[in-house]
Structure 1
Amino acid sequence: MYSERLTYKLLEISDLEELHELNLIPEVDQFNTMGLPDSIQVTKDLLDAKIEDHQQENISKLTYSIRLTDNSEFIGISGILFGQPKYKKAELWMKFNPKFWNQGYATETITRLLKACFEEYQLHRVEAGCAIENHASKKVLEKCGFVVEGVQRKNLPLKTGWSDNYEFGILEEEYLDKNRD
């Protein structure tokens, strides 16, 4: 899968070292509930689980490595978590190396994943969330057409304590209206 400047490929074992390095960056961990991995084995176990998700008959989770198209440099990961088929919805998430923040890559990624959700997977609704202190992610989601639908109080167990979480949603018709040529 591609966008203007980025290539998205399902995670594979060859992504282990870069994924581990990403997970060790304190700024990346700030709004992440996973915490810093104790060892590369912890990251490998997480990666193995994500790879196994991709091999299931009824795929419910897709996790992509994100690379710059021009030089294949690893910049982060993002994913789609599908809900029960009856509801035709999914949740998007992302995690980027800080050296690639503020360059439009998160917006480009979420835009591309929304296109997959609505045009390829024919979903009705896509959701996302972020800690209320995560102003950059909130801005990205709003720029991509998501609407804040509520706040879950003390929902995220961050290393700084429990954080409130913005709940975002975008409907198929909103996406189509925003992307009409």
Structure 2
Amino acid sequence: MTEIEILTERLKLRLIELSDLNSIHKLHSLPETDEFNALGIPKNIEDTKTIIQPWIAENKLDKIKNYTFAIENRLDREFIGLFGLKLGNEKYKRGEVWYKIHSEYWKKGYATESLKAVINFGFENLKLHRIEAGCAVGNIGSFNVLEKAGMVREGRLRQVLPLKSGWSDNFEYSILETDERKK
């Protein structure tokens, strides 16, 4: 397996490793990052380990179908969050992105910078045709990120997201390889 890194001006996205366990556990344990996430807050670090072990195993395959990246600051290697790219059936050349950013790094452009980089990776390296994303309708920060990165809101799915607060509608977004990408 070759090492995969995506570099931006400020960030490095690299495949997660078990050494990221503590940082990921802290991220998953934050009530702010859990509000619009269906995963839930882990009871303990062992729960987090159980969640990420399949992600780490998937990252080691010759043909990765679910990329899970750690986002870190290039200057101080500080852990900022997670970014995922899940590939669909190869015939459709489609992927779906998700991200979870530590609340200390919100509103600094890191999510948008990461998303643009992963979109470019998906189209240029993986030769995808379409990249999709979804977010709870109340998650204003997230849909602003998706739109700043050039994704188009295509619709609204009713009550598909099981959140602690109850069932939430989800906005659906996409960007195509033929769409103009934002730098």
Q: TM-score, normalised by structure 2?
A: 0.95
Structure 2, unpaired ranges of 5+: 1-5
Residue 128 of structure 1 and its aligned partner are, at CA, apart by 0.3
| Counterpart residue number, 2:43 | 38
- Structure 2: distance between partners of 1:159 and 1:165: 15
- Answering whether residue 134 of structure 2 is matched by residue 129 of structure 1, we say yes
| Counterpart residue number, 1:157 | 162
- Answering whether residue 119 of structure 2 is matched by residue 104 of structure 1, we say no
Taking only the aligned residue pairs, the percentage that are identical comes to 43
- Structure 1: distance between partners of 2:11 and 2:153: 27
Residue 179 of structure 1 and its aligned partner are, at CA, apart by 5.1
- What do you get for the CA RMSD once the two structures are aligned? 1.1
- Tell me if the contact between 2:150 and 2:182 (Cα under 8 Å) persists in the aligned partners: no
- Structure 1: distance between partners of 2:91 and 2:181: 25
Runs of 4+ in 1 over 4 A off after TM superposition: none
Residue 134 of structure 1 and its aligned partner are, at CA, apart by 0.3
Q: Which moved more, 1:79-88 or 1:49-58?
A: 49-58
- Structure 2: distance between partners of 1:128 and 1:142: 11
- Structure 2: distance between partners of 1:154 and 1:29: 18
| Counterpart residue number, 2:3 | none
- Structure 2: distance between partners of 1:80 and 1:138: 17
- Tell me if the contact between 2:131 and 2:175 (Cα under 8 Å) persists in the aligned partners: yes
Residue 58 of structure 1 and its aligned partner are, at CA, apart by 3.0
Residue 80 of structure 1 and its aligned partner are, at CA, apart by 0.3
> How does 1:163-178 map onto structure 2 within 5 Å?
163-174=168-179, 177-178=180-181
